[in-house]
Structure 1
Amino acid sequence: MTEAEPFPPEPWDLRGRMHVSLWGPRRNRLPRWTLPEGVRPLTVGGRCALLTFCVDYSPEGTLAYRELLLALAVRQGRRTGCTAVAVWVDSEQSKAGGRTLWGIPKEIGGFAWEPWAGAPGTEHVRLRAPGTGEVRAAFRPGRPLPVRLPVRTRLLQEVDGETLAVPAHLTGEPSLTRASFRPDPAGTLAFLGEGRPLLSFTLEDFRFRVGFRPPRERLG
């Protein structure tokens, strides 16, 4: 990337530490997020599969920044994947690149990420952004699992009226984690305070590649 370029070219190879939580909210309790044409949430009994990612990307990767990302499990016909529906980052480069390259709706937010003195081993993350108010989350990783996790998926995102299937490949060393969220009850993420995650885990020293090598795949 040169000084004249606003963000790095794809694909991005990112590294760091992340906390992932899986939720099963009722669809009618979620905000009315806009999905690409023909893309629908995967639902079972009126409940969606929602993932939250609290990520601290390190300088060892393409960009260093912090992020809170919400993604819905979705389908388009027989194809399944995820769609990033709400994202906050503390990097203008990440915001510009995510929006321009892949249609990821990144917004700027302020993050605090620190150990929680009241509970040794626990990380405390705070986000403040317009519309969300203050969102607090705490993560206490438990016993590491004896595996290194590989996940390949596609982010189904809309760019200039076209639906892209953005390749994403994640690996890392997972630990089961206790997670809790305390969103502003008047903010856009208030629904996260209505229940607990179904499952949470932490990935240490993850590696995440996102984006295309030519040619790009277009779905419609």
Structure 2
Amino acid sequence: VGLWTVRAGRLPRWPLPEGVRPLAVGGRYPLLTFCVDYSPEGTLAYRELLVALAVRRGRRTGCTAVAVWVDSERSRAGGRTLWGIPKELGEFALEPAGGAAGTEHFRLRAPRTGEVRAVFRPGRPLPGRLPVRTRLFQEVDGQVLAVPAHLTGRPALTRASFRPDPAGALGFLGRGRPVLSFTLEDFRFRVGFRSPRDRPDRRG
């Protein structure tokens, strides 16, 4: 996971749901990049690179998934249909990168994105499990949903480098580096409502 802060002039003009605006902090816009390897114990086994922008809708804050790539057609179809997450297909590789033990090289290739490379070097483990609860503001069939998202895992601070194709969709991140990087081992990530009837009539 990488936490970035981006100047307004460098932020792509991603389409956001109605009434949703980027959340500015000190004149910059926070966003998160997630490089994920979902194991077979979950709903689906696949790899993903997800970019989430911190946003607000009225007085409520959360995130909007603005750019996502996966290597599973089922994940792509489900994310788009259920939650309005704009998933696209890509090819991934995850392999040891050499150097320090535990260092991993995460690579994505996709149309209009080129090649994106991320290298994660192990750092200091933190005690306990990190719980994160937020909501994803996404648009489905013209309606804005506040989709609950709950993430937990064993965190460790990490040194990371993120190298996107300068001409690709994430080229704007190539001039900077995350202000904070960490990994989550043994993570659990739930997105969505527990059942269809929990999908609220109060939207946004």
Tell me the TM-score normalised to structure 2 length: 0.96
Residue 215 (1) aligns with residue 198 (2): yes
Query: How far does the alpha carbon of each residue in 1:148-200 deviate from its partner, in whole angstroms, 9 at most, with x for none?
Result: 11111100000010000111111100000111011111111111111110001
Number of the residue aligned with 1:68 = 49
Q: Secondary structure in 1 aligned to 2:127?
A: coil
Tell me the TM-score normalised to structure 1 length: 0.89
Number of the residue aligned with 2:118 = 137
Amino acid at match of 1:156: F
2:180 equivalent among 186, 195, 199: 199
Amino acid at match of 1:91: S
Number of the residue aligned with 2:139 = 158
C-alpha distance in 2, partners of 1:64/1:157? 23
C-alpha distance in 2, partners of 1:174/1:30? 28
Q: Secondary structure in 2 aligned to 1:139?
A: strand
- Name which structure has the greater RCO, CA cutoff 8 Å, separation 6+: 1
Q: Secondary structure in 1 aligned to 2:42?
A: coil
Query: How far does the alpha carbon of each residue in 1:86-132 deviate from its partner, in whole angstroms, 9 at most, with x for none?
Result: 00000000000000000000000000101112443211011000011
What are structure 2's unaligned runs of at least 5 residues?
A: none
Same amino acid, percent of matched pairs: 82
Spell out the pairing of 1:167-206 with structure 2 (5 A cutoff). Answer: 167-206=148-187
Residue 24 (1) aligns with residue 5 (2): yes
Amino acid at match of 1:216: R
Q: Secondary structure in 1 aligned to 2:198?
A: coil
What are structure 1's unaligned runs of at least 5 residues?
A: 1-19
Query: How far does the alpha carbon of each residue in 1:36-65 deviate from its partner, in whole angstroms, 9 at most, with x for none?
Result: 000001002331010000000000011000
Give every structure 1 segment of 4 or more consecutive aligned residues whose post-TM-superposition deviation is greater than 3 Å.
Answer: none
CA RMSD of superposed structures (Å): 1.0
